């Protein structure tokens, strides 16, 4: 029987040291399979307070007391400390253990043994401790054998499924790898009567309450290295006691397997990031014209992208530089790829951490519109960014998604370049699920002029008095002008957006015209003000 790294009381009584004392079990003979963690010999009345549990206590009875009440109390205290058994050597103190001690031990469920011959307690202690140490060493050897097999599997090209399979075979129970928040990643091993491990997980771990309060006897071991900080958790190894109990050696083996899994997952993450960067380099080279259109299909095919003759849709997601720490790109690459798999269209996605971009090409299948595909792709990209912790509900989004024009390989490079530049120019615009690259051409032109002093002078001439007014006075008038121009001069619609009555809007528009010295119905003035409002993001 597995003894959790110790030996049983039964085994201790079979060893030569105690066997020489002619042991007689007086109470709880059915509990001799308790684990002996250590041996202690002592006679002090307060010895129960010095014990931690799991000890085999050797005594001559001097500390047991002379009154039945004291003897019962002493035995109860030992039982409360959780010792494995009490062994009393008969002699000068007791010729036979008193009934009070025997009954108290039986009531408390504490194995009680009396020795009819004197034995050297030192020799008994050394003998049992040697047996315990040998037992621990045997457990270590068994756990190290699992570690060796897992290492060989990984060196032979195996991965997470192979490591979990070895551990499941060793524990004779199903094994699962979960995310830190309890989502299932991998499963191995069979449940009772060959049940599928996924069914076992769904039944025992599938709901949130079961993940927060795992079944009794389950083992949970953390796989380190999941985040950017030291001591973070990448995943969680879970062993469920379905076909049999889980004991110390199973935990030891699981802890060693967790170390190997940490390396495997780190390698997988690095490989994912390297592959994603390689695809990003290809897409960037295509955008910059370093790859000829006639060579692009073959190179894309090597990377797994074979769109056939369907038009190609270029898309770029851009992240604000401060929102994407360097260590998050591997997680982002995997999360985005997994989310985009549901789009159902051939695609090639890469990452470009230096520019803070995720470029991709998708095949525009017959029967799918550019707008519909743009919606699905943008939703997948944002979901991936959310999983990577780069876009959170309630925050000002650091993510911009731009969809270019569809075309063949000859147009794909220019479309990617246009989308990438437009995504940069769109930073700071109002939030939308995605932007059409063509609708950002004016913003892109203004962005390219951002460092030219003439642009700042133009903005100052066109709307400078309003900016100065809004710095010192209320109500601010720039939002009123923006709403008015956004609705092409339709005052009723602008008033509704601003939640103003029409007369208040008229008064504000009159004040704007007065401050700018212009007619808000003049098409040339309207054009200049519209451009200045869009350009001011680049001149602040």
DSSP per-residue letters across 405-451: --B-HHHHHHHHHHHHHHHHHTTTSPP-S-EEGGGGHHHHHHHHTTT
Start-to-end CA distance of the chain, whole Å, equals 76
Q: What pLDDT score was predicted for residue 321?
A: 58
- Measured CA to CA, the distance from residue 283 to residue 413 in angstroms comes to 8
Q: What pLDDT score was predicted for residue 393?
A: 42
CATH class of segment(s) 453-538: mainly alpha
| Cross-strand bridge partners of residue 8 | 35
Cis peptide bond prior to 99, omega within 30° of 0: no
Which pairs with CB-CB distance under 8 Å and at least 24 residues apart come from 457-460? Answer: 458/528, 458/531, 458/532, 458/535, 459/532, 459/535, 459/536, 459/539
- Measured CA to CA, the distance from residue 448 to residue 440 in angstroms comes to 12
- Superfamily name and number for 7-130: HprK N-terminal domain-like (3.40.1390.20)
- Measured CA to CA, the distance from residue 60 to residue 129 in angstroms comes to 20
- Measured CA to CA, the distance from residue 249 to residue 124 in angstroms comes to 26
Output the six-digit token pair for 325: 């720490």
Query: Does the fold of domain 292-442 match that of domain 158-266?
Result: no
Residue 356 makes CB contacts below 8 A (sequence gap 6+) with 318, 319, 320, 321, 324
Output the six-digit token pair for 330: 């591997």
- Closest by CA position to 160, among listed 139, 181, 184: 184
- For residue 400, the SS3 value is strand
Q: What pLDDT score was predicted for residue 1?
A: 40
Helices (H), 181-303: 197-205, 208-212, 248-287, 296-302
Q: What pLDDT score was predicted for residue 202?
A: 66
Answer positive or negative: Cα dihedral of 341, 343, 348, 354. Answer: negative
Cis peptide bond prior to 475, omega within 30° of 0: yes
Residue 49 makes CB contacts below 8 A (sequence gap 6+) with 77
- Measured CA to CA, the distance from residue 242 to residue 532 in angstroms comes to 69
- Break the chain into its structural domains and give their ranges: 7-130, 158-266, 292-442, 453-538
The DSSP output letter for 352 is B
Fold of 292-442: Alpha-Beta Plaits (3.30.70)
- Superfamily name and number for 158-266: GAF domain (3.30.450.40)
- Measured CA to CA, the distance from residue 165 to residue 187 in angstroms comes to 8
Answer positive or negative: Cα dihedral of 274, 279, 282, 287. Answer: negative
Output the six-digit token pair for 149: 């097999």
On whether the CB atoms of residues 29 and 8 are closer than 8 A, the answer is no
Sheet strands (E) in 296-394? 312-319, 347-349, 357-363
pLDDT string in tens for the chain (540-residue length): 444 556 889 999 999 999 999 999 999 999 999 988 889 998 888 888 888 888 999 999 888 888 999 999 999 999 999 999 999 999 888 989 999 999 999 999 999 999 999 999 999 999 988 888 877 777 788 888 989 999 998 888 788 888 999 999 998 888 888 877 777 777 788 666 555 666 666 666 656 555 666 777 888 898 887 543 434 667 888 888 888 888 888 888 999 999 998 888 777 766 667 678 888 889 999 999 999 999 999 888 878 899 988 999 999 999 875 555 555 677 788 788 888 888 888 999 988 888 888 999 999 999 999 999 999 999 999 888 888 777 544 444 578 999 999 999 999 999 999 999 999 888 877 778 999 999 999 989 988 888 888 998 999 999 999 999 989 889 999 999 989 998 888 999 999 999 999 899 999 999 999 999 999 989 999 999 999 988 887 776
CA angle 474, 476, 481 (to 5 degrees): 150
Length of the chain: 540
On whether the CB atoms of residues 425 and 436 are closer than 8 A, the answer is no
On whether the CB atoms of residues 496 and 484 are closer than 8 A, the answer is no
């Amino acid at each position: 029987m597995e003894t959790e790294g110790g030996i049983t009381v039964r085994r201790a009584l079979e060893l030569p040291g105690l066997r020489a004392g002619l042991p007689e079990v007086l109470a709880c003979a059915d509990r001799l399979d308790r684990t002996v963690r250590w041996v202690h010999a002592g006679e002090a009345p307060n010895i129960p307070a010095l014990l931690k549990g799991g000890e085999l206590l050797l005594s001559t009875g001097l500390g047991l007391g002379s009154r039945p009440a004291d003897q019962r109390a002493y035995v109860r205290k030992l039982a409360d400390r959780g010792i494995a058994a009490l062994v009393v050597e008969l002699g000068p103190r007791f010729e036979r253990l008193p009934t009070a001690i025997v009954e108290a031990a039986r009531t408390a469920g504490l194995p009680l043994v009396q020795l009819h011959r004197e034995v050297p307690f030192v020799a008994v202690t050394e003998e049992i401790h040697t047996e315990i140490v040998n037992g621990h060493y045997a457990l270590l050897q068994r756990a190290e054998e699992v570690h060796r097999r897992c290492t060989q599997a990984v060196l032979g090209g195996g991965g997470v499924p192979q490591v979990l399979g070895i551990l499941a075979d060793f524990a004779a129970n199903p094994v699962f790898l979960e995310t830190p928040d309890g989502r299932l990643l991998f499963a191995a091993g069979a449940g009772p009567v060959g049940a599928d491990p996924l069914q076992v997980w769904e039944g025992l771990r599938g709901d949130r309450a079961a993940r927060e309060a795992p079944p009794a006897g389950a083992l949970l071991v953390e796989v380190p290295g999941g985040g950017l900080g030291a001591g973070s958790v990448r995943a969680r190894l879970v062993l469920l006691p379905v076909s049999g109990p889980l004991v110390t050696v199973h935990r030891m083996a699981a802890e060693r397997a967790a170390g190997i899994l940490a390396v495997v997952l780190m390698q997988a993450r690095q490989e994912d990031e390297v592959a994603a960067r390689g695809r990003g380099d290809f897409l960037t080279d295509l955008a910059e014209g370093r790859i000829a259109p006639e060579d692009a299909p073959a190179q894309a095919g090597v990377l797994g992208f074979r769109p056939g003759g369907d038009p190609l849709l270029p898309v770029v997601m851009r992240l604000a530089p401060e929102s994407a720490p360097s260590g998050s790109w591997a997680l982002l690459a995997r999360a985005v790829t997994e989310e985009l798999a549901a789009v159902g269209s051939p695609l090639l996605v890469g990452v470009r951490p230096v520019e803070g971009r995720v470029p991709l090409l998708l095949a525009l299948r017959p029967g799918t519109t550019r707008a519909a595909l743009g919606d699905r792709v943008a939703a997948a990209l944002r979901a991936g960014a959310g999983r990577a912790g780069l876009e959170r509900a309630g925050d000002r989004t650091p993510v911009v998604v731009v969809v270019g024009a569809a075309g063949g390989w000859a147009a794909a490079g220019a479309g990617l370049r246009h989308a990438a530049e437009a995504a940069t120019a769109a930073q700071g615009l109002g939030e939308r699920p995605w932007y059409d690259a063509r609708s950002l051409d004016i913003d892109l032109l203004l962005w390219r002029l951002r460092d030219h002093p003439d642009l700042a002078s133009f903005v100052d001439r066109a709307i400078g008095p309003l900016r100065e007014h809004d710095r010192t006075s209320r109500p601010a008038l720039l939002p009123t002008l923006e709403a008015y121009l956004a609705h092409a001069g339709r005052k009723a619609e602008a008033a509704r957006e601003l939640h103003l009555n029409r007369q208040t809007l008229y008064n504000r528009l009159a004040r704007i015209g007065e401050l700018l010295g212009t007619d808000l119905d003049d098409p040339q003035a309207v054009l200049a003000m519209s451009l200045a409002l869009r350009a001011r993001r680049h001149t602040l």
